[in-house]
Homo-oligomer: A and B are copies of this chain.
Amino acid sequence: MRTIRVQEQDFDVGAEFAGLAGSCTGIGGIGCFLGIVRDAAQSRPISAMELEHYPAMTEPAIERIAAEAERRWSLVGCTIIHRFGRLAPGENIVLVLAAAAHRQAALEATAFLIDWLKTRAPFWKKEHYTDGEQSWVEAREEDDIAAAQWLAEGC
């Protein structure tokens, strides 16, 4: 089962694991990445992270990323939840779950999904610092490299 949600409210990590595990048979393992708002960026304390997105495009873009993961690995299910809006340090941002019969598929698909979400889902982050300043997060070259590596390895 594929579950994709783009939402302002928080999600319940345990409930998402249980929901995915309960919806599929043949699961041997679930890989997961949970992204959390950091409390500082380059040692500058953060008071909030603002996530903007492109509503008409976001879910279709994530569906395409999930479909690509399903094409590459033998997944029995996956869950992708991405929040938007204003989040405080420590709050959940994004949850990726990939369930498979074997752990390698589950873990590789998890890494792939978060790498591609970072570079192919239309979200933008703005950091608000405790000193009142704010700045848009710039795309990291490492993220492009991480995402591109899956093209080189693509089957």
Cα separation A138 to B38 with both chains bound (whole Å) = 43
Copies per complex? 2
Q: Output the nearest chain B residue to A99 by Cβ-Cβ distance.
A: B36
A104 vs B142: C-alpha distance in the bound complex, in angstroms?
10
Does A14 sit at the interface, judged by CB under 8 A? Answer: yes
| Distance from A31 Cβ to chain B, minimum over Cβ atoms (Å) | 6
Contacts of A75-97 to chain B: CB distance below 8 A = 90
Query: Is the beta-carbon distance between B107 and A103 smaller than 8 angstroms?
Result: no
**Which of A19-27, A51-59, A64-72, A126-134 sits within the interface?**
A19-27
Say yes or no: B34 contacts A28, CB within 8 Å.
Answer: no
Min CB distance A117 to B, Å, is 10
In the complex, the chain B residue whose C-beta lies closest to that of A16 is B14
| Residues in A lying within 8 Å of B, measured CB to CB | 12-15, 17-18, 21, 25-36, 38-40, 90, 101, 103-104, 106-107, 110-111, 114, 142, 146
